[in-house]
Structure 1
Amino acid sequence: MAITDDDGLRELLAADTIAVVGCSTTEGKAAHDIPAYMQNNGYRIIPVNPFADEILGERAYDSLADVEAEIDLVDVFRPSEETPGVVDDVIARHEERSDAGAVWLQLGIASDEAEQRAEAAGLQFVQDRCLKVEHRRLLG
Structure 2
Amino acid sequence: MDVIEQILRTYDTITVVGASADPSKAAHRIPEHMQQHGWRIVPVNPRGGAILGETAYPDLASVPEQVGLVDVFRPSLQTPDVARQAVAAGATALWLQLGIASDEARRIAQDAGLLYVEDHCLLVEQRRLGLRAPTP
Give the TM-score of the pair, scaled to structure 2.
0.92
Q: Please tell me whether residue 12 in structure 1 is matched to residue 7 in structure 2.
A: yes
User: Could you say which residue in structure 2 is the equivalent of 1:30?
Assistant: 26
State whether residues 44 and 57 of structure 2, in contact with CA within 8 Å, keep that contact through their aligned partners in structure 1. yes
Aligned mate of 1:124, from 115, 121, 124:
115
Aligned mate of 1:72, from 68, 71, 75:
68
RMSD over equivalenced CA pairs, Å: 1.0
Aligned-pair distance for 1:11?
1.2
Q: Which amino acid aligns with 1:135?
A: Q
State whether residues 3 and 115 of structure 2, in contact with CA within 8 Å, keep that contact through their aligned partners in structure 1. no
Q: Please tell me whether residue 113 in structure 1 is matched to residue 108 in structure 2.
A: no
Deviating more after overlay: 67-76 vs 37-46: 67-76
CA distance in 2, matches of 1:34, 1:52: 19
CA distance in 1, matches of 2:63, 2:82: 14
State whether residues 18 and 44 of structure 2, in contact with CA within 8 Å, keep that contact through their aligned partners in structure 1. yes
Q: Please tell me whether residue 134 in structure 1 is matched to residue 125 in structure 2.
A: yes
CA distance in 1, matches of 2:51, 2:14: 13
Aligned-pair distance for 1:13?
0.5
State whether residues 17 and 70 of structure 1, in contact with CA within 8 Å, keep that contact through their aligned partners in structure 2. no
Unaligned runs of 5+ in 2: 132-136
How many residue pairs match? The answer is: 130
Q: Kindly report structure 1 stretches of 4+ aligned residues shifted beyond 3 Å.
A: none
Aligned-pair distance for 1:68?
1.2
Deviations 1:58-87 (A, max 9, x none): 000001111112332100000000000000
Q: Please tell me whether residue 44 in structure 1 is matched to residue 40 in structure 2.
A: yes
